[in-house]
Amino acid sequence: MAQRPFELQNWQSRNFFSFGPKFRLDMCNPQMGLNGTDVYNLYAVTDNKSVCINGLSEGGVYKIYNDGPIEFIAGQKSQHYHQHHHKQCPQHQHQQQHQHRH
């Protein structure tokens, strides 16, 4: 990863916003990364110093870095979710078994 000469780095187009000590937005950082410069990065840190960064590079790579686990939850309000989840729910299976015995 070669760094571009300082005179070719466009620091005037960079925007950096800090929303307190735990969250910031960095846009158009001219420092060269593995996939070019960064279009943007969102940076957050917890009281325990766990860091989460997500962003997009000029090379088109979307990145998510997180010191802890990552949780994705989707479709909880959709009809498909409730039908599928309800069939696999142990409580539902127990109720079905109990109903078939009578």
pLDDT reported for residue 34? 82
Pick the more confident residue, 91 or 29.
29
Distance of CA 8 to CAs 14, 57, 60, 73, Å? 13, 18, 21, 43
The whole-model pTM stands at 0.61
Residue 38 buriedness (CB in 10 A; 0-12 / 13-18 / 19+): buried
Q: Which residues contact 86 (CB under 8 A, 6 or more apart)?
A: 92
Question: What is the distance between the alpha carbons of residues 81 and 95, in angstroms, rounded to a whole number?
Answer: 19
pLDDT value at 60 more than 80:
yes
Residue 54 — very low, low, confident or very high, per pLDDT cuts 50/70/90?
Answer: very high
pLDDT digits (tens, 9 = 90+) for 79-90: 766 666 656 555
The one-letter amino acid code at 80 reads H
